[in-house]
Amino acid sequence: MKQRILLLLLLCLSGSVSQAQDQIQKQDSDSVLWAVAAQELQAGHYEKACSLYLDLSNHTIAIYQDINSRKVEDLRTKFSIDEVQLQRNIQQSRLLRLIWIAGIILLAVFAGCFFYIRKQNRWLAHSREELNRAKALAEESIRNKSLFLSNMSHEIKTPLNALSGFAEVLTMPGIDEATREQCNDIIQLNSELLLKLINDVIDISCLDVANMKFNIKPCDAVVLCRNVVKTLSAIKQTDAEMLFETDLDTLELDTDVERLQQLLINLQVNATKFTKQGSITLKLEKTEDGMARFSVTDTGCGIPLEQQSRIFERFEKLNEKAQGTGLGLSICQLIIKRLNGDIWIDSEYTQGCRFVFVHPLKQEARS
The interaxial angle of helices 17-43 and 2-13, nearest 10 deg, is 150
Mean pLDDT score of the chain, rounded to an integer?
A: 78
229-254 burial, b at 16+ Cβ within 10 Å, e below that, comes to beebeeebebebebebebeeeebebb
pLDDT band at 15 (very low <50, low <70, confident <90, very high): very low
Domains of the chain, CATH where assigned:
131-206 (1.10.287.130), 213-360 (3.30.565.10)
pLDDT tens column, 94-127:
898 999 999 999 999 999 999 999 999 999 999 8
Q: Mean pLDDT lowest for which of 59-73, 100-114, 124-138, 339-353?
A: 59-73
Q: Round to whole Å and give the CA distance between 363 and 18.
A: 119
* Mean pLDDT, rounded, for 236-240: 80
CA angle, residues 101, 107, 110, in degrees to nearest 5: 140
Q: Round to whole Å and give the CA distance between 75 and 70.
A: 9
Q: pTM (2 decimals)?
A: 0.51
pLDDT band at 315 (very low <50, low <70, confident <90, very high): low
* Mean pLDDT, rounded, for 62-78: 75
Q: Round to whole Å and give the CA distance between 339 and 359.
A: 7
| Closest C-alpha among 29, 23, 28, 54 to residue 40 | 54
CA 257 vs CA 260, 330, 334: distances in Å: 5, 19, 15
Beta carbons of 71 and 13 less than 8 angstroms apart: yes
| Closest C-alpha among 281, 284, 306 to residue 294 | 284
Q: Round to whole Å and give the CA distance between 307 and 253.
A: 33
Beta carbons of 282 and 244 less than 8 angstroms apart: yes
CA 63, 68, 69, 75 torsion: positive or negative? positive
Phi and psi torsions of 304, nearest 5° = -55, 145
Q: Round to whole Å and give the CA distance between 49 and 186.
A: 170
Let me know how many helices (H) and strands (E) the chain has, helices first.
Answer: 7, 7
Q: Round to whole Å and give the CA distance between 278 and 241.
A: 6
**pLDDT for residue 327:** 66
Q: Round to whole Å and give the CA distance between 251 and 225.
A: 11
Give CA torsion, residues 324, 325, 328, 331, to 10 deg: -160
Residue 196 or 176, more confident? 176
**pLDDT for residue 182:** 77
Q: Mean pLDDT lowest for which of 80-84, 230-234, 286-290, 314-318?
A: 314-318
Beta carbons of 284 and 325 less than 8 angstroms apart: no
Q: In 106-186, which ranges are E strands? A: none
